A and B are shown apart, each in its own frame.
Chain A
């Protein structure tokens, strides 16, 4: 019974860490794309205000 519980505990932790990594990937991609210079340039080109700061 103890072994079964340990196996269950390990699987549960693996699921939590795995899903956490997937969430990190989503957040990371969102942040990178948000702050990348290419995206800021694209925004300015489309006639939107440049969110990236720079000279006022």
Chain B
């Protein structure tokens, strides 16, 4: 028996194009590195461990499906014919998850429901204008990256999808890129998740670069923690959700998921809370990571547009960080210099990581300074403003294309 036929993962390496072979080996190694960095805590383990496993396994487990066809038994994202899809659904073990939960954005919505349960609207309701202003400034990257991406030769949809990386919300990037840039949704979402993990290491340096030490330790007057009731939060959830759905029906699945998650938390229905927070959020995050990894087949990532995406993704997040800090300075000036501009970085969404980064930086200078209330308000508002911008992009871009 031919050894190449017996060990087909290795055998296929001798039948594929050299560039595909190199990419396969590089992705196998990258997958292992991602798992290591996830375990070490450098990157987000919840996403990176399943993603790394998926990436390594899909590029290693390549086999001869027929005499002239090479593929895997994971899934086929490119299948279009219904009959063919029905066949693949019975063979590829991840195809049902991809077809019924990934390609329609359900998985992004499930993650968003969980994020809704984790988010506390109290601080948004306590400081609505401050939080919203900071969050809007922190969308700078989401806006400026768009014309830059266009100048680099991407289509309008691709430019909009990669710009949304600046909103620092993984599920939002996935949802938007599925609608606006179906061909590039895999690399765009992977770039988003990779950079989201890395930017928390980079933002402290940005804070230190843009804000002098004496300002970073500034104490901000805290508000009473009990002044916003659950009833008020639920009323806000339903009003905001309805308003946003009215304005942007294309983004309605995301809006309803986020605000419903939050309303469940505020209504105190413990069983639903446990379901969304402990089961659906982690299940969706796990499969999101695994599927993103499995989608990293060498042939998918050999697209020449990947390099601009890598540059634009990091640019978008960096500009959003700069915008957030500018927003912090604007509120500092509006409030008669009684506001800590470090809070601005929390406007870059991704609850609650950026808020924690802000608090940590302030704490390093002044152990008595607590800014978490304002930072959490800006962070949750960041989710809302990213949802607004995503809604605007997916509504407006097709009109101009």
Q: Do A and B come from one complex?
A: yes
Where the two chains meet, the residues of A that have a C-beta atom closer than 8 Å to any C-beta of B are: 2-4, 6-11, 13-15, 17-19, 21-26, 28-29, 32
**Residue B53, interface by CB 8 Å:** no
| Docked complex Cα distance between A48 and B200 (Å) | 53
18 A-B pairs with CB atoms under 8 Å apart are A2-B400, A3-B146, A6-B146, A7-B144, A10-B389, A10-B392, A15-B136, A17-B388, A18-B133, A19-B133, A21-B240, A22-B128, A22-B131, A25-B236, A26-B128, A26-B129, A28-B232, A28-B236
Q: With contacts A21-B132, A29-B125 known, is A13 near B384, CB below 8 A?
A: no
| Docked complex Cα distance between A43 and B259 (Å) | 33
Query: B142 CB to closest chain A CB, in angstroms?
Result: 8
| Docked complex Cα distance between A11 and B385 (Å) | 10
Within 8 A of A (CB), among B118-134: 124-125, 128-129, 131-133
**Residue B247, interface by CB 8 Å:** yes
A residues near B144, Cβ cutoff 8 Å: 7
Interface 0/1 of B371-401, CB less than 8 Å to A? 0000000000100110011001100100010
Contact B146 A18 (CB under 8 A): no
Partner of B147, one of A4, A13, A18, A21: A4
| Docked complex Cα distance between A32 and B232 (Å) | 7
Contact A10 B143 (CB under 8 A): yes
Chain A interface SS verdict (over half) = helix
- What 7 A-B pairs have minimum CB-CB distances, sorted nearest first? A22-B128, A25-B128, A3-B150, A3-B147, A22-B132, A11-B143, A7-B146
Where the two chains meet, the residues of B that have a C-beta atom closer than 8 Å to any C-beta of A are: 124-125, 128-129, 131-133, 135-136, 139, 143-144, 146-147, 150-151, 156, 159, 231-232, 235-236, 239-240, 243, 247, 381, 384-385, 388-389, 392-393, 396, 400
Q: With contacts A6-B146, A24-B239 known, is A18 near B392, CB below 8 A?
A: no
Please name 12 further chain A to chain B contacts, defined as beta carbons within 8 Å, in addition to the given A18-B135, A32-B232, sorted by A numbering.
A6-B396, A8-B143, A9-B396, A10-B146, A10-B389, A10-B396, A13-B392, A14-B388, A18-B381, A19-B133, A21-B128, A26-B129
B residues near A7, Cβ cutoff 8 Å: 143-144, 146-147
B residues near A14, Cβ cutoff 8 Å: 136, 139, 143, 385, 388-389, 392
| Docked complex Cα distance between A2 and B239 (Å) | 34
Partner of B139, one of A2, A11, A22, A29: A11
| Docked complex Cα distance between A29 and B227 (Å) | 11
Contact B129 A19 (CB under 8 A): yes
Contact B239 A28 (CB under 8 A): yes
A residues near B150, Cβ cutoff 8 Å: 3
A residues near B139, Cβ cutoff 8 Å: 11, 14
| Docked complex Cα distance between A9 and B389 (Å) | 11
B residues near A11, Cβ cutoff 8 Å: 139, 143
| Docked complex Cα distance between A28 and B151 (Å) | 43
| Docked complex Cα distance between A19 and B135 (Å) | 11
A residues near B151, Cβ cutoff 8 Å: 3
B residues near A8, Cβ cutoff 8 Å: 143
Contact B247 A17 (CB under 8 A): yes
B residues near A29, Cβ cutoff 8 Å: 125, 232
Query: B124 CB to closest chain A CB, in angstroms?
Result: 7
| Docked complex Cα distance between A9 and B208 (Å) | 32
